[in-house]
Structure 1
């Protein structure tokens, strides 16, 4: 029996023996790989279809995003309203997202409703018709949203910094204008849809309290579809960063706040410094107790929040510092960012601070493994980035063992002000 008068022992998160729950893999009749995590107490399930249909593969701006958005806005047998009502009737949620390399269609529902919902998704993925009236509404709505967003300095800053890092023609650097929406035609959507969805490369991820016959259900609904019957086009994009490194943009002459972005190109996850840099980034600006937050938010009061992070891209990445500050203190904020870089270059991190960051990072990973949906999300990240399970354990080992001297050397290598692009939008 538990002694309620005795407090339980307290352990540091770095002492936890974290394990990544294994992921079952099988293949449908048409060659589509399925990754499954069967866990959880509630009778809910997530099924996500990942297609290599991001803007990396488009030959016209926003074609990939527009196709993905309009997928469920009408099929050969159902109107957009009927498609949505079918999923809502079963208490299900069907969502879609378009990223740089991939696009997804994701179902969340009760396990018992899969037999009614999986065939409906197959219909969306093979019989969407992209009605002209739905396309017209989409264009109008998106242009209105864009017009409103362009008045916000943080929105403009996010667009421009990626352009400076990668070039406006690169998928990571391009951004949308109103004429881009006007140029999208139904025939182009249908062609992109046929190539990259109906006949495209598909990977399925599923998690939750899975039915015993989940493999048979998926195979019955999708195993006969023409997915994965052709190779993904080999597409490369040249990175053409801007020549100038410092920019000041006036977006609202009467605005009182400015958006600051400071960023430099950085290697992707396969580089040996990537995991180590994540530890250094957390010391620098990666969580609420970071140096940037302590200095610029708590001490100086220049901003409500400032963060640094490594971009979640597959081919290239970037190290980014992001904040919004008062217009009159933007220059001072940037100066303090560079001072914190210098401190990391010049002084080893104290043991107490490094231990705090280690525990924060281990605790965050523990939280990310809390439930089947979070676990399959981590597996998806590894699969799509061509990583293995060993990456997870290498990450844990690095967090536990990296030294202050290694982090200082890393700061001296990467946290050099002249390597960063600097943008202020007011």
Structure 2
């Protein structure tokens, strides 16, 4: 019997001279400008239409600012998003599905504290049908009593299950720690609040908040941009209001400070969540900060992953990433660990933050991260869906295609000195705050010894 010997991941990724080098990127040049139109319709809706002919499809994303301060706003918004596409005077749920299926299409809607998002796709030849269905929902959704009742029951089940998940518990704890009672923190209503929502309240919310002024619609596909904008203008001519969609109140800057230990009795795993103020995409220093984040924990070859995953085996996954709102930007660091190694993983994470400042990224680290940043940006926007989603995210913070076109060049021009400066300004451990969710009976003694953690 023959025994096959397999190489480990470490052996595959290394040679006798060290880690295998990434292949060099070619000289970075500015991306070519596609055929596009970026305009605002008379009803206040901003429309971006981009011709991308890779497949005979069209992708659609609509973003409507949808903030609210009322206690039941999150619950009403969740019900609205789940019932929006279930019926109008012209169509019931089955007719929605039938009309979209006839053009190879789909539509769905989701909501969060910032926005109501409607997204979908169809054959390019069926764009008019896709827009007609969308317009019908935006101007004629009736929220039938039986549909509201049915979806509310499902929501209660989903929310109850979600609230038992460690990642959801950690996210809610982090949001409250970062922003207190700001409406941004209520990403999910309480299950009991769903039962208080009536069909009349959902209809009233639609009338008051599903508004075109301040909203953004992006179409990407095998389309003529001018023709697509004209089609949108015609289909959505009846979507009118003098009021504007409600944007989320500006988030306060994060206050650095101790990390808070959140008790979860009997937990065998812990969630480490750290956060600090960052730079928005519009800032000239963002490209250098983006590269610094990649070196720290933004991709698999980062220092944090090499330390607490590859070297010490404390976690299957650790990463850092940016979170953007219209007026704010933060960096988040996440890792899930077994309870027995949580304090050690927390210590090593803070150590890597400090090391990024005291031992700045080398030319090699910067070059690898720079190549990854450019490559991942180009890859993520190479599909119609990816480009559509990216343009919606950029449009939400006031940016246009020009920013996306020029960003690879900005990243390519970043120097090691600029990355070191960004790391020193934004990744110092003293700039962070956060939470650890876990069994305090197990974790508290060690956290008490190392300090920097407020115990329950």
Fold equivalence (TM over 0.5): yes
Residue equivalent to 1:214: 228
Residue equivalent to 1:362: 374
Matched, 1:81 2:94: yes
Instruction: Report the alpha carbon displacement of residue 370 of structure 1 after superposing the two structures with TM.
Output: 1.2
Deviates more, 1:184-193 or 1:396-405: 396-405
Cα distance between partner residues in 2 of 1:319 and 1:40: 35
Give per-residue Cα distances to partners, 1:79-115, cap 9 Å, x unaligned: 2233233323433111112244332222311122233
- The answer to whether the 8 A contact 1:166-1:173 is kept is no
- Of 339, 343, 357 in structure 2, the residue corresponding to residue 345 of structure 1 is 357
Residue equivalent to 2:386: 374
- The answer to whether the 8 A contact 1:94-1:106 is kept is yes
- Structure 2 unmatched runs, 5+: 1-21, 439-456
Q: Secondary structure at 1:180's aligned position in 2?
A: helix
Residue equivalent to 1:265: 277
Q: Secondary structure at 2:290's aligned position in 1?
A: helix
The two structures have a TM-score, normalised by structure 1, of 0.87
- Of 101, 117, 122 in structure 1, the residue corresponding to residue 135 of structure 2 is 122
Matched, 1:63 2:76: yes
Cα distance between partner residues in 1 of 2:235 and 2:188: 36
Alpha carbons of 1:295 and 1:232: their partners in 2 closer, same or farther (altered >3 Å)? same
Deviates more, 1:128-137 or 1:377-386: 377-386
Alpha carbons of 1:275 and 1:54: their partners in 2 closer, same or farther (altered >3 Å)? farther
- Of 321, 329, 333 in structure 2, the residue corresponding to residue 321 of structure 1 is 333
Give per-residue Cα distances to partners, 1:377-426, cap 9 Å, x unaligned: 33333322112455336633442233333322322222232332232223
Deviates more, 1:79-88 or 1:276-285: 79-88
Matched, 1:133 2:137: no
Residue equivalent to 1:3: none
Cα distance between partner residues in 1 of 2:55 and 2:344: 51
Deviates more, 1:352-361 or 1:177-186: 177-186
Matched, 1:205 2:218: yes
- Of 280, 288, 303 in structure 1, the residue corresponding to residue 292 of structure 2 is 280
Cα distance between partner residues in 2 of 1:200 and 1:35: 15
Matches within 5 A, 1:12-411: 12-13=24-25, 15-19=27-31, 21-22=33-34, 23-26=36-39, 28=41, 30-54=43-67, 60-172=73-185, 175-197=188-210, 201-210=214-223, 213-222=227-236, 224-227=237-240, 229-232=242-245, 236=249, 239=252, 245-253=258-266, 255-392=267-404, 395-411=407-423
Cα distance between partner residues in 2 of 1:120 and 1:317: 35
Instruction: Report the alpha carbon displacement of residue 31 of structure 1 after superposing the two structures with TM.
Output: 5.0
Residue equivalent to 1:7: none
Instruction: Report the alpha carbon displacement of residue 232 of structure 1 after superposing the two structures with TM.
Output: 4.1
The two structures have a TM-score, normalised by structure 2, of 0.82
Cα distance between partner residues in 2 of 1:328 and 1:342: 24
Alpha carbons of 1:187 and 1:116: their partners in 2 closer, same or farther (altered >3 Å)? same
Alpha carbons of 1:391 and 1:45: their partners in 2 closer, same or farther (altered >3 Å)? closer
Instruction: Report the alpha carbon displacement of residue 314 of structure 1 after superposing the two structures with TM.
Output: 1.9
Deviates more, 1:285-294 or 1:376-385: 376-385
Alpha carbons of 1:220 and 1:409: their partners in 2 closer, same or farther (altered >3 Å)? closer
Give per-residue Cα distances to partners, 1:181-208, cap 9 Å, x unaligned: 2232222211221122256543321111
Give per-residue Cα distances to partners, 1:294-317, cap 9 Å, x unaligned: 111100011111000111322222
- The answer to whether the 8 A contact 1:36-1:376 is kept is no
Alpha carbons of 1:15 and 1:59: their partners in 2 closer, same or farther (altered >3 Å)? farther
Deviates more, 1:298-307 or 1:316-325: 316-325
The alignment yields a C-alpha RMSD, in angstroms, of 2.8
Give per-residue Cα distances to partners, 1:233-252, cap 9 Å, x unaligned: 57635649789732222334
Alpha carbons of 1:58 and 1:393: their partners in 2 closer, same or farther (altered >3 Å)? farther
Cα distance between partner residues in 2 of 1:388 and 1:216: 20
Give per-residue Cα distances to partners, 1:319-362, cap 9 Å, x unaligned: 11111111111111111111111111111321111111111111
Cα distance between partner residues in 2 of 1:225 and 1:19: 37
- The answer to whether the 8 A contact 2:114-2:248 is kept is no
Alpha carbons of 1:385 and 1:198: their partners in 2 closer, same or farther (altered >3 Å)? closer
Alpha carbons of 1:57 and 1:113: their partners in 2 closer, same or farther (altered >3 Å)? farther
Residue equivalent to 1:422: 434
How many residues end up aligned between the 2 structures? 415
- Structure 1 unmatched runs, 5+: 1-9
- The answer to whether the 8 A contact 2:28-2:408 is kept is no
Alpha carbons of 1:85 and 1:103: their partners in 2 closer, same or farther (altered >3 Å)? same
